[in-house]
Amino acid sequence: MMKQTTLFFAILILITLGCRHKSDTSSSIETTIVKMDGELEAIEDSVKKANAFALQAQIKRVVTPKAQTQPVNAATGEDAADDPAIWYNEENPSESRILGTDKKSGLALYNLKGELVSFNPAGKVNNVDLRYNFKLANRSIAIAVASERISNGLVAFEVTADSLISLLDSPSLMDTTIIDDAYGCCMYYSRRKDTFYAFICGKNGNIQQIKITEKSGKVNTTVVRTITLSSQCEGMVADDEEGILYVAEEGKAIWKMSAEEDADNQMTMLANSDSTNVNITYDLEGLDIYYAGNNKGYLIGSVQGNFSYAIFEKEGDNRYLGNFIIKSNNSIDGVEETDGLTVTNMALGGDFPSGLLVVQDGFNTENGIDKPQNFKLIDWADIANQYETILNTSPQFMWWKH
Ligand code: CA
Ligand code: CA
Ligand code: CA
Ligand code: CA
């Protein structure tokens, strides 16, 4: 059985490499890689890992990390770190913070050097996202919302430079007949309705939109919409400027649809986001948006099957701009099999003058020795420099102040 699997992947690599075009914007060639349900991740499967490294070597845009967080408090080889979010500190940008989920135990808060500032043991926190200017008890706070898998619910936090303060006495529970496992999670602020929302998706491909309001000084949640995909999804991001929700169906493609609660569920598949693009090898995972102002920007998605990231334009028909990879800078290891990722366009000073990308690292190593997972920090300018059409000067567009 093992020999057959090895042979299968060896043939697969040959077919895939043989089909590859020189330009990574080409999209006409079908690869034969398909997602099989219940498949192991590369962290658990050495053949899959070798296959992904071989495919990764074909991608020519390379950047390196500038910093990394300390490892999560989990065993080496355990899939524990998952999804990050960035909190922009308007008063002191260099003291901005990174939130990182540990899907075995809770939510961590790191500074830009990667040091742990605070930890909230909120349970099996899977995905996290945040928004600014949420009104609570006559204060304006940054609110983070996350999916929590012990309770199959949603948890919420007030984000400050020092801590993550729980806003709910207990998780807001999902209906298990619709959401089988609170897995993916992102937030949305509707400018049209001046209302905050979370989207939670289950492993069964069902997504629920949840309105988040204040009620008597407390956070209140109400399910307002259900969306159904045909298979497992996790990575999601909402574009607050345009009112669009993007969802990565892990073994299929990236979809876009209206993020408004009263919209129909009509969705469009992004061209070049499926396996007709040689640079897309499943799973598709974390998604986030770099806002560039005037409705322009970039949608970034983790492509786990070749340890890379795909970039699409935010505007219009989401033109595909190509993939990049993150390799070692000698002192910090490269990044493999990213689950969640997050990006900001804001200048954070120091190593991140025009924005920051944070990605989960599936295989964290130190001097070649395996360590528990962590998150890597990448200077946006290094990514922009790899693309002709991406400017490396940040527009410093405060997308949340609209
Ligand atoms: Ca996230
Ligand atoms: Ca996943
Ligand atoms: Ca690594
Ligand atoms: Ca993983």
pLDDT digit string, tens, across residues 136-162: 999 999 999 999 999 999 999 999 999
CA of 1 to the centre of ligand 1 (A): 38
Rounded distance from Cα 208 to ligand 3 centre (Å)? 33
20 Cα–ligand 2 center, Å: 26
User: What residues are neighbours of ligand 3 (ion), with CB under 5 Å?
Assistant: 333, 361, 363
Is residue 277 within 8 A of residue 283, CB to CB? The reply is no
Dist. CA 107 → ligand 3 center (Å): 21
66 Cα to the center of ligand 1, angstroms: 20
DSSP state of 179: -
Give me ligand 4 centre to Cα 139, in Å: 37
* The predicted structure's pLDDT at residue 12: 44
Residue 332: nearest ligand to its CA?
Answer: 3
CA of 176 to the centre of ligand 3 (A): 35
Beta bridge partners of 215: 218
What's residue 394's pLDDT? 61
Identify the CATH number of the domain defined by range 62-401. Answer: 2.120.10.30
Q: Which residues are CB-neighbours of 156 under 8 A, at least 6 positions away? A: 143, 144, 145, 146, 166, 167, 168, 172, 212, 219
Distances (CA, A) of 1 to 5, 6, 8, 40: 6, 9, 10, 16
Identify which ligand lies nearest to the alpha carbon of 307.
3
pLDDT value, residue 393: 66
Instruction: For residue 114, report the distance from its CA to the centre of ligand 3, in Å.
Output: 15
Query: Distance from the CA of 199 to the center of ligand 2, in angstroms?
Result: 16
pLDDT of residue 398: 84
Residues forming a β-bridge with 255: 247, 269
Q: What pLDDT was estimated at residue 206?
A: 98
For residue range 258-286, list pLDDT tens digits in order.
Answer: 999 999 999 999 999 999 999 999 999 99
How far does residue 335's CA lie from ligand 4's centre (Å)? 12
CA atoms within 13 A on the CB side of 343: 29
Write down the pTM of the prediction. 0.90
For residue 283, give the ligand nearest its CA: 2
pLDDT at residue 53, rounded to an integer: 97
Collect the ranges in the chain with pLDDT lower than 50. 1-3, 5-37
Output the CA 303–ligand 3 centroid distance in Å. 15
* Separation CA 362–CA 246 (nearest Å): 23
Q: What is the DSSP letter of 146?
A: E
Given this model, what pLDDT does residue 42 score? 86
C-beta separation of 226 from 208 below 8 A: yes
What does the pLDDT read at residue 395? 67
Question: Given this model, what pLDDT does residue 382 score?
Answer: 96
